[in-house]
Amino acid sequence: MNDKHYDVVIVGAGIFGMATAYHLKKENAQLSMLVVDKAAQAGAGNTAQSAAMYRDTFSSEVNLLLSSTTRDFFKYVQNDLEIDLSLRDITYLWLMDRLQFEKNKNAIEIMLENKVRIEILDKSDIKQKIPSLVTDFDDNEEAQLLNLKNIDYGLLGYDCGELDADKITRDFYEAEFKKMGGESLYNTTVTKLILEPKGEKLGIPGEPVGWQEKKIGGALTSNGDTIKSDCFIIATGAWANELLLPIGVNCHTMPIKKYLFRVQHSKLANFLDNIHFNGENTIPFFIFPVHGIHLKPVKYNNSIWIGGGSLIGKPYIMTKPEEITLEDNPLDDTQANDRDYEFDRYLILSEYLPILKDVPLTNSWGGFYAMNTIDKNPVVFKPKGIKGLQVVASGSGSGIMKADAIGRIASALFNNEEYAELFGGSKFKVSRLGLEKRDVDKEDFVI
Ligand SMILES: Cc1cc2nc3c(=O)[nH]c(=O)nc-3n(C[C@H](O)[C@H](O)[C@H](O)COP(=O)(O)OP(=O)(O)OC[C@H]3O[C@@H](n4cnc5c(N)ncnc54)[C@H](O)[C@@H]3O)c2cc1C
């Protein structure tokens, strides 16, 4: 039983919750703060399930600012603070057919204007650098049945790569938060946010009723305790609706299941070894021209992680809060469906990369994108009409690569600042990621 009354309680110790905890405590050393998570440690939710890739190959100003400043901060942590994050610029290679390239020309122009370090490869460059990649399917009936697209161009992003999401979440954000006096409570599920009248309780049935001003009076936990705090910051990612919908708050987030498949074989060694792209002498992270299928090279153990794939026919999960029990929550399911590899990704990939034929599937896992249904960008807001509540959610499949900026914006919002200062000094108007004055420009670089 914890009787302490905190200034701030953050529910959710994923990368968003921990980046918020770190920046908020750093800005406000005097705050008493607690981070609560149902898992046994920080970063064990969808942060742990991710491929943990980062990129700056975006055309939208918001995407570019959030991702490039986050990457630069992570590099600062690794290079200047000397905390190993296993961060490596292995580069991204977006493979496109002629039509996709034409469609993306405007976005490419914008990237070049914004000094994003990219290079366009044509088909002969691609063939020369990656001889085992098949680029043309005009005479291949099977490939035509699979609706495969030819590879005519590649967009290579240089300042893009991978890091270890556990390390940034735990070894940096959590460790620093604790050094500053922040507390954590794991293996504890917040089961309900208690909505109360902001002023005196009047004893009316169903209090607080519509006209009463409201506040969050506490959070009930699976241990039977009530945590008390002046402010609750909800950073529960794909689970955000469970706590917010019952109190009438819509954070426009939809959980979408995503899988990663891992294949491994010594015969991949030659393919993974490549001198043309990065200092790691490996192939880039590939994005294929169909269904966003992507491939992450893991050279040290001759394996490849495969993600993406068509979402049509895959159910969205809208959990009904009253049906959720602690033992049986569909959003806790981390299983992948291996048939989706066997009858979908494998058939496609083994046409583009015949070297993958008969390479065994050695592992697979799943997780949920907390997908923002407005514009696929995070939401950082204080719900109107409820005192003591803030939401930091909707990583939308790019939460790792935007996390540091999101932590800074969440901290600025708590402090009622109009602008957050992102790493490197750029200013970001906090209301741009809110709901009322949201201002997220459209992303044009999509395949
Ligand atoms: C398969 C996959 C691949 C991905 N690849 C990438 C990638 O390459 N690059 C990238 O940038 N992003 C990627 N993402 C997205 C990225 O993982 C997320 O955007 C990011 O981790 C979101 O962080 P978060 O802190 O919001 O959520 P989470 O890490 O899920 O944290 C939420 C936390 O809340 C806790 N929690 C939930 N409910 C409660 C409750 N009631 N009480 C207490 N605790 C609770 C959970 O245990 C969890 O720890 C990927 C995601 C998936 C699923």
Report the relative pairing of strands 226-234 and 389-393 from DSSP bridges. Answer: parallel
HEC readout, 295-364: EEEEHHHCEEEEECCCCCCCCCCCCCHHHCCCCCCHHHCCCCCCHHHHHHHHHHHHHHCHHHCCCCEEEE
pLDDT for residue 366 is more than 90: yes
At residue 375, the 3 state secondary structure works out as coil
Mean per-residue pLDDT for 372-399?
A: 97
pLDDT of residue 405: 98
Our mutation pick for probing the ligand 1 site, out of 50, 85, 392, counting the most ligand atoms within 8 A of Cβ, is 50
Q: Indicate which atom in ligand 1 lies nearest the CA of residue 39.
A: 47
The mean pLDDT of the chain is 95
* Residue 333 in domain: yes
List pLDDT tens digits, range 224-265: 999 999 999 999 999 999 999 999 999 999 999 999 999 999
Query: Does 28 lie in the same domain as 93?
Result: no
* Helix ranges (DSSP H) in 116-161: 123-129, 141-145
For every residue of 206-229, DSSP letters joined together read TSSPTTS-EEEEEEEETTS-EEEE
List pLDDT tens digits, range 39-79: 999 999 999 999 999 999 999 999 999 999 999 999 999 99
pLDDT of residue 447: 67
The 10 Å Cβ neighbour count of residue 329 is: 15
Query: Does 263 lie in the same domain as 149?
Result: yes
Domain range holding 244?
5-55+166-249+375-433
pLDDT for residue 353 is more than 90: yes
Partners of residue 271 on adjacent β-strands: none
Cis-peptide into 208, omega within 30 deg:
yes
Query: Does 292 lie in the same domain as 421?
Result: no
Q: Distances from the Cα of 52 to the Cαs of 167, 260, 305, in angstroms? A: 11, 12, 11
pLDDT for residue 324 is more than 70: no
List pLDDT tens digits, range 124-156: 999 999 999 999 999 899 889 999 999 999 999
Handedness of CA 393, 288, 123, 280 (dihedral sign): positive
Q: How far is CA 317 from the centre of its chain?
A: 17
- Worst-scoring range by mean pLDDT, 7-21, 173-187, 299-313, 410-424? 299-313
Query: Does 132 lie in the same domain as 276?
Result: yes
> Tokens at residue 137, please?
């399917």
* Residue 133 in domain: yes
CA distance 86 to 244: 35
Report the relative pairing of strands 183-185 and 33-36 from DSSP bridges. Answer: parallel
Query: Does 108 lie in the same domain as 190?
Result: no
At residue 443, the 3 state secondary structure works out as coil
Query: Does 258 lie in the same domain as 149?
Result: yes
In the numeric block, the tokens 């496609």 are attached to: 348
CA of 393 to the centre of ligand 1 (A): 9
Q: How many residues does the chain have?
A: 447
Query: Does 265 lie in the same domain as 139?
Result: yes
Q: Name the residue with the closest Cα to ligand 1, atom 48.
A: 45
> Tokens at residue 92, please?
């991204």
Query: Does 144 lie in the same domain as 293?
Result: yes
| Higher-scoring residue by pLDDT: 319, 89 | 89
Q: Which of 296-300's residues contact partners 24+ apart within 8 Å by CB, and which partners? A: 296/51, 296/53, 296/162, 297/90, 297/272, 298/262, 298/272, 299/272, 299/273
Query: Does 329 lie in the same domain as 298?
Result: yes
pLDDT for residue 325 is more than 90: no
Q: Indicate which atom in ligand 1 lies nearest the CA of residue 236.
A: 34
Query: Does 353 lie in the same domain as 386?
Result: no
Q: Distances from the Cα of 421 to the Cαs of 54, 66, 404, 435, in angstroms? A: 20, 11, 11, 20
List pLDDT tens digits, range 279-309: 999 999 999 999 999 999 999 999 999 999 8
pLDDT for residue 2 is more than 70: no
Q: Indicate which atom in ligand 1 lies nearest the CA of residue 15.
A: 25
397 C-beta closer than 6 A to ligand 1: yes
CATH number for the domain that contains residue 102: 3.30.9.10
Largest CA distance in the chain: 77
In 297-318, which positions are buried (b, 16+ CB within 10 angstroms) versus exposed (e)?
A: bebeebbbbbbbbeeeeeeeee
Mean per-residue pLDDT for 14-27?
A: 98
Query: Does 94 lie in the same domain as 25?
Result: no
CA distance 255 to 83: 32
* Residue 362 in domain: yes
Handedness of CA 420, 424, 425, 428 (dihedral sign): negative
Count: domains in the chain: 2
| Higher-scoring residue by pLDDT: 33, 311 | 33
pLDDT for residue 323 is more than 60: no
Report the relative pairing of strands 389-393 and 379-381 from DSSP bridges. Answer: antiparallel
| Higher-scoring residue by pLDDT: 330, 59 | 59
Our mutation pick for probing the ligand 1 site, out of 9, 18, 46, 251, counting the most ligand atoms within 8 A of Cβ, is 46
Query: Does 261 lie in the same domain as 150?
Result: yes
Q: Which residues contact 141 (CB under 8 A, 6 or more apart)?
A: none
pLDDT for residue 319 is more than 70: no
pLDDT of residue 1: 56
List pLDDT tens digits, range 92-101: 999 999 999 9
CA of 398 to the centre of ligand 1 (A): 10
285 C-beta closer than 6 A to ligand 1: no
Confidence of residue 13 (pLDDT cuts 50, 70, 90): very high
